[in-house]
Structure 1
Amino acid sequence: MTEAKIFAHPGESAWTPTPDGNRRRVLLHTDELMMVEFGFDKGGVGALHSHPHVQASYVAEGRFEVTIDGRTEIIETGGSFIVPSNLVHGVKALEAGRLVDSFTPHRADFLA
């Protein structure tokens, strides 16, 4: 069994484009938990979707319109939100920004 990576440093992970025109980089992961940084240009949209993973998100930079299960709020730098399993959710970047998302269990689709 490979030893889990337990530290991440700036610039270690490469950005990859997302299907919706944004970018992401997986920072760290184990089977149980994954941390991913997402970058958005102003007006960038994370389309409405759902997944079985529980997601906790921290707004590292910017302002986002966040919709979870039909409820929408504006969340800005320093704010956060949680998405329970299978709820429909999405975001719109009101300015350029970054989200740091944690998923449990890890998102195997982000490692493919």
Structure 2
Amino acid sequence: MTGTKIFSHAGEGAWTPTPDGNRRRVLLHTDELMMVEFGFDKGGVGALHSHPHVQASYVAEGRFEVTIDGRTEILETGSSFIVPSNLVHGVKALEAGRLVDSFTPHRADFLA
């Protein structure tokens, strides 16, 4: 595991703007798994999209309207959701908040 970062401390890592106007920072990753924190202002939208990665998300802060494969639910701090491979999904921040997403395999596009 030489060279693999296995610990991440609060506040580490730079925020990167996302194409839809939010922000993200990669916390940890291996080839098999990646953990990413996303920050949203109130009203921020994670546009509907899909990817081959399986995604598990935890609402670390705030309230979000989450849509997965045409089904929408309101999730708040402490809630979570999973997105199977290739399903269309997106979120809207009903208040400022943060999501912590895990992806398998890792999102190479987030490391470019």
TM range (shorter): over 0.9
C-alpha distance in 2 between matches for 1:51 and 1:2: 29
Deviation at 1:79, TM superposition (A): 0.1
3-state secondary structure, aligned to 2:24: strand
C-alpha distance in 2 between matches for 1:70 and 1:12: 35
TM-score (norm 1): 0.98
C-alpha distance in 1 between matches for 2:111 and 2:28: 11
- Deviation string 1:28-55 (CA, Å, 9 cap, x unpaired) is 0000000000000000000000000000
Point out 4+ residue stretches in structure 1 off by more than 4 angstroms.
none
C-alpha distance in 2 between matches for 1:36 and 1:95: 20
Q: Which runs of 5+ in 2 are unaligned?
A: none
C-alpha distance in 2 between matches for 1:11 and 1:57: 19
C-alpha distance in 2 between matches for 1:63 and 1:11: 21
- Is residue 2:100 matched to residue 1:109? no
C-alpha distance in 1 between matches for 2:37 and 2:58: 10
Deviation at 1:2, TM superposition (A): 4.7
C-alpha distance in 1 between matches for 2:89 and 2:110: 18
Deviation at 1:12, TM superposition (A): 1.6
3-state secondary structure, aligned to 2:109: helix
Match of 1:5 in 2: 5
Number of aligned residues: 112
C-alpha distance in 1 between matches for 2:48 and 2:12: 29
Deviation at 1:10, TM superposition (A): 1.4
Deviation at 1:11, TM superposition (A): 1.9
RMSD over equivalenced CA pairs, Å: 0.9
What is the aligned-residue identity percentage?
94
3-state secondary structure, aligned to 1:43: coil
TM-score (norm 2): 0.98
C-alpha distance in 1 between matches for 2:21 and 2:95: 15
